[in-house]
Amino acid sequence: MSAARVGVFGLLGSGNLGNDGSLGAVLAYLWRDHPQAVVEALCGGPEAVTARFGIRATRLHWYRGEYRTASRAGAIAGKGLGKLVDVFRTAAWVRRQDVVIVPGMGVLEATLPLRPWGFPYSLFLLCASGRLLGTRVALVGVGAAPIGNRATRTLVRWSARLAAYRSYRDGPSREAMRAMGVDTARDEVCPDLAFSLPTVRAPLGAPGQVCVGVMDFHGGDDDRARAEEIHRRYLDGVIRFVRALVEEGRPVRLLTGDGCDAPVVAAILGAVDSPLVTAAEPASLDDLMRETSAAGTVVATRYHNLICALKTGTPTLALSYATKSEALMARMGLGAYCHPAREVDAERLLEQFRELEKRAPELRRTLAERNRVAVEQLESQFTALTAALFPAAAGHDRPDAGAGTGPEARTDIRSDARPDARADARQETP
């Protein structure tokens, strides 16, 4: 039997640590359970994906200026031509695969600003190509949410309908797709894929250290008119919270989850001029887990900042900007510790924070149990995925650890690990 050709698709290698962590989780599953699979990516940052994971990668868009705002006629024409060329590029890439996996990520939501002709269009091209060419497309552990923009909602709905397999990272995601008209009766709900990654820990840091995870937050897709107001209110609230901690002599470690968050860190460091406030420079979920495990408590905004804190068993308070954060906190037994990112009230946030610290020993025990359950549920998810996408392998025993050679056989993948590159691993940037 020939080796399965497996494609992975998404905004991977583009600076978002959560997206790359989800890719790492799926690659770990493939290299453990399907060690002979030949894996390649169609993604936003092919050079970064190949450098980190050692797999062949192709750029998602033909037009290199895809992520820049087009205002001049030439740029607009280039984007338009790129959309047409991408129809054929995507189809050609899909034709080379037996299976395509979209690993986690919020690909069926618009909780952050999003244009229909951006990623929703790319996802639709993928799913439509898969259906037309007979390649199974799997949306695995993805996030979804109600979408106000009609064009975006239509593209997302049809992408989901055309996929051969769907599972979601929480119940509200499945309900959102059902409300959009997608038949979700057979769709599973499982924990976020990042919970399947090995937990990385560091020694406890300075006494009383608090990690504060920040975000370049401007509201969601429906908040464009109020984006700057939302951002100012969020930033002001976080600054006042950090300042209050510093006044109590607490060390504060600022965390990010995407390169675009750097200006927020700079603004906080400028506003709270104290040696007690320092900034981490995480390059992976492993780095984030090291930071959160060294802290006594965590207050964070980005979804995968929260996941890393919860995975390491650190009592955590969410600055929630979407239902997904609230669902995650409820799943992990910390549903009471959410605060709205759109309306940060520093005094109320401090009250919640102090209550969190009072219950810290109890919450650590709760997190240990919830993490154990999450890992078990993800094992069931991967078993179901094998049955759906690799039926010929479903009846065979899992390969022994260490069987095979090269990155395909790795069973200890970490989110920042780079397996020895395959001889044929390269970036394709046509």
CATH superfamily of 210-368: Glycogen Phosphorylase B; (3.40.50.2000)
pLDDT of residue 206: 86
Per the model's pLDDT, the better-predicted residue between 415 and 381 turns out to be 381
pLDDT of residue 49: 98
Least confident span in 38-52, 65-79, 90-104, 306-320: 65-79
Please say if the pLDDT value at position 191 is more than 90: yes
pLDDT of residue 393: 66
Task: In whole angstroms, give the CA distance from residue 48 to residue 353.
Answer: 37
As a whole number, the mean pLDDT across the chain is: 90
360-408 residue pLDDT tens: 999 999 999 999 999 999 999 999 999 999 987 665 544 443 333 334 3
Per the model's pLDDT, the better-predicted residue between 115 and 2 turns out to be 115
Least confident span in 8-12, 66-70, 375-379, 420-424: 420-424
Please say if the pLDDT value at position 175 is more than 60: yes
pLDDT of residue 71: 56
Q: Which helix (H) or strand (E) holds 413?
A: none
Per the model's pLDDT, the better-predicted residue between 255 and 394 turns out to be 255
| Predicted confidence band of residue 17 (pLDDT cuts 50, 70, 90) | very high
pLDDT of residue 205: 86
Task: In whole angstroms, give the CA distance from residue 88 to residue 73.
Answer: 24
Interior/surface letters 19-43, b for 16+ CB within 10 angstroms, e for the rest:
bbbbbbbbbbbbbbbbbbbbbbbbb
pLDDT of residue 304: 97
Residue 35 · residue 396 · CB < 8 Å: no
Q: For the chain, how many residues are written?
A: 430
DSSP class of residue 101 equals E
Percentage of the residues of the chain whose pLDDT score is greater than 90: 80
pLDDT of residue 223: 86
pLDDT of residue 82: 79
pLDDT of residue 424: 36
Q: What is the mean pLDDT of residues 135-161?
A: 96
Please say if the pLDDT value at position 254 is more than 60: yes
**Assigned CATH topology for domain 5-197+373-428:** Rossmann fold (3.40.50)
Please say if the pLDDT value at position 425 is more than 70: no
Q: What is the mean pLDDT of residues 286-296?
A: 97
| Predicted confidence band of residue 51 (pLDDT cuts 50, 70, 90) | very high
Please say if the pLDDT value at position 414 is more than 60: no
Which residue intervals of the chain bear CATH 3.40.50.2000? 5-197+373-428, 210-368
Q: What is the mean pLDDT of residues 143-172?
A: 96
93-135 residue pLDDT tens: 999 999 999 999 999 998 777 888 899 999 999 999 999 999 9
Give the number of other CB atoms < 10 A from CB of residue 48: 17
Q: What is the mean pLDDT of residues 229-255?
A: 98
Please say if the pLDDT value at position 265 is more than 80: yes
Closest CA to 62 of 19, 26, 95, 91: 91
pLDDT of residue 2: 75
Collect contacts of 404-411 with beta carbons under 8 A, ≥24 apart.
Answer: 404/35, 404/36, 407/31, 407/53, 407/54, 407/55, 408/30, 408/31, 408/35, 408/36, 408/37, 408/39, 409/31, 409/35, 410/28, 410/31, 410/32, 411/28, 411/31, 411/32
Task: In whole angstroms, give the CA distance from residue 131 to residue 125.
Answer: 10
